[in-house]
Amino acid sequence: MEHYNNSVVLRGELAGLPEFSHENHGRRFFRFILEVARLSGTVDRLPVVAEESILNTVELNGGSMLTVTGQVRSHNCRVDGIRRLLIFVFAGSVTAEDGEPINDVTVEGPLCREPTFRRTPLGREICDAMLAVPRGFRRADYLPCILWGRTAQELSRCQVRDRVRICGRLQSRAYTKQTEDGPVERTAYEISALTAELLDDPL
């Protein structure tokens, strides 16, 4: 039996009204940005995709506080001839409620490439990893993760196909990419790990 774990709970402010994204088998899906504040005051702007029927149960206004539960998903697409991996939250439920910001993610799956360990100029230890989180119908979501300190050291010793459970938050990060037409501002999304656990049992 296929075993996987992919769950996310977000609570933040709706940055704008949902816009139509796509239609699949007669079901209409909409996309919106949820702004989730960190304790530091930094705000993560996270893309959410939800089915129309889910959104119809909630009264939406720009600036509303929403709680979203669902999964972190990835989608490969071509933009201007370049293949890009899009990361987003696929909503299973959306409710309007006040409260403290929440950004909790748990994902589980095998590493699909060798972890990359590095140190910043100030000596901070960082490890970049890519998890292939199984989904139904023999599909998988490829989710970039970033780990810090001792957790980074431990994961850097793992190998491709080792199964790992990571708990943390989904974060957005602005960066500048140099292109033939000059610098372009882009946003990357990744799971910032609080904990990482190597799982012994096979897939």
Query: Sign of torsion, CA 60 75 89 146?
Result: negative
Query: Spelled out in words, what is the top-level CATH class assigned to the domain 5-102?
Result: mainly beta
Q: Are 164 and 155 in contact (CB under 8 A)?
A: yes
* Secondary structure of 107-132 in HEC code, one letter for each residue: EEEEECCCCEEEECCCCCEEEEEEEE
Q: Rounded distance, CA 53 to CA 169, Å? A: 27
At the topology level, CATH places domain 106-199 in OB fold (Dihydrolipoamide Acetyltransferase, E2P) (2.40.50)
Q: Rounded distance, CA 130 to CA 143, Å? A: 6
Strands (E), the chain: 5-14, 19-24, 27-37, 43-51, 65-79, 82-96, 102-110, 116-119, 125-135, 139-148, 163-179, 182-199
**pLDDT value of position 80:** 65
- Integer-rounded Cα Rg, in Å, for the chain is 18
**Angle, alpha carbons 190-192-193 (nearest 5°):** 135
- C-alpha distances out from residue 45 to 13, 33, 65, Å: 9, 6, 14
- How far is residue 161 CA from its own chain's centroid? 20
The partner residues of 5 in beta bridges, in order of sequence, read 108
CATH 2.40.50.140 residue ranges for the chain:
5-102, 106-199
Tens-of-pLDDT digits for all 203 residues of the chain? 345 699 999 999 999 999 999 999 999 999 999 999 999 999 999 999 999 999 998 988 767 799 999 999 999 887 666 778 899 999 999 999 889 999 999 999 999 999 999 998 899 999 999 999 998 788 999 999 999 999 999 999 999 999 999 999 999 998 887 777 788 888 999 999 999 999 975 44
The partner residues of 133 in beta bridges, in order of sequence, read 141
In this structure, which amino acid lies at residue 101? Answer: P
pTM: 0.90
All residues at 6 or more sequence positions from 76 whose CB lies less than 8 Å from its CB, including other chains: 83, 84, 85, 86
